Amino acid sequence: MDASLIKTSEMAFAEMLAECGVELVQIRNKKASSRDLLQISARLSTFFKRQGVRLIVNDRPDLALLADAGGVHVGQNDVDVEVAREVCGSDRWVGISTHSLEQVRRANATSADYIAIGPIFPTSTKEDLEPVLGVECIRAARRLTSKPLVAIGGMTLDRVPEVFQAGADSVAVARDLICATDPRRRTQEFVQVTSESRRETL
């Protein structure tokens, strides 16, 4: 959930995601104050727990702990994985973004619960974008780690089967879902194609 893209309230969007069967949601709001991000994260965490959905807070292990969220996601310029885990607790997930195979190797040596890799395709969601890696990088990363791999960057419906076949365990979607003409329908389509792609790779 990128707050800069959502056209409704964050809670209304969260309710839609849960109704459509989404299992994992990351809250991202680079412009919010710590107080505001904590408040919305706490509300979302309480709601998602009732729905059986795990909430991941972007960048801030301290807020993940205070909001009682399901985990935190850190980038290469954020706190280290082990520091994040020490802050937010061992019972929460810690994920990390990687943008090269060397970063995947280093992430594999940590206690990270999952590794995100990308951008796999061109994307305009983030500023200061890293170079596009391509699907072949997922195949190479798959050989380097047994941790769950999340493909990030430029994810669209038609690209989901390809990244699963390359070795991804999941996909992170922002713009193609949030900015769709009908976000509810697009979410349902993503849930369906992801489930199908996962079954085909088992």
- Domains of the chain in start order, with CATH, are 10-201 (3.20.20.70)
Angle between helices 183-201 and 10-19 (to 10 degrees): 40
Catalytic, 28? Answer yes
- Return d(Cα 195, Cα 191) in angstroms, integer: 6
Model pLDDT, residue 128: 56
Q: What is the pLDDT of residue 162?
A: 96
What percent of the chain has a predicted confidence (pLDDT) above 70?
A: 97
Residues contacting residue 157 through CB under 8 Å, at least 6 positions apart: 176, 186, 189, 190, 193
pLDDT tens, residue by residue, 138-165: 999 999 999 999 999 999 999 999 999 9
More confident site: 74 or 123: 74
Q: What is the mean pLDDT of residues 1-7?
A: 79
Catalytic residue among 28, 92, 159, 186: 28
Q: What pLDDT is stored for residue 125 in this prediction?
A: 59
* Closest residue by Cα to residue 148 from 98, 189, 192, 85: 98
Q: Is 90 a catalytic residue?
A: no
- For 91-142, write each residue's pLDDT tens digit: 999 999 999 999 999 999 999 999 999 999 987 655 556 789 999 999 999 9
Q: Is the pLDDT of residue 78 over 60?
A: yes
Residue tagged active-site, from 54, 85, 126, 159:
126
Given 41, 45, 97, 170, which residue is catalytic?
A: 97
Of 65, 1, 53, 68, nearest in space to 29 by CA: 1
pLDDT at 5: 79
Dihedral over Cα of 81, 84, 89, 91: its sign: negative
Active site (annotated) includes residue 126: yes
Burial of 134 (0-12, 13-18, 19+ CB in 10 A): middle
CA separation for the pair 67, 185 (Å, rounded): 30
pTM of the complete model: 0.93
Residue 67 has pLDDT above 80, yes or no: yes
More confident residue, 3 or 72: 72
Instruction: Give the DSSP H or E segment for 25.
Output: strand 24-27
Per-residue pLDDT, averaged over 40-52, amounts to 96
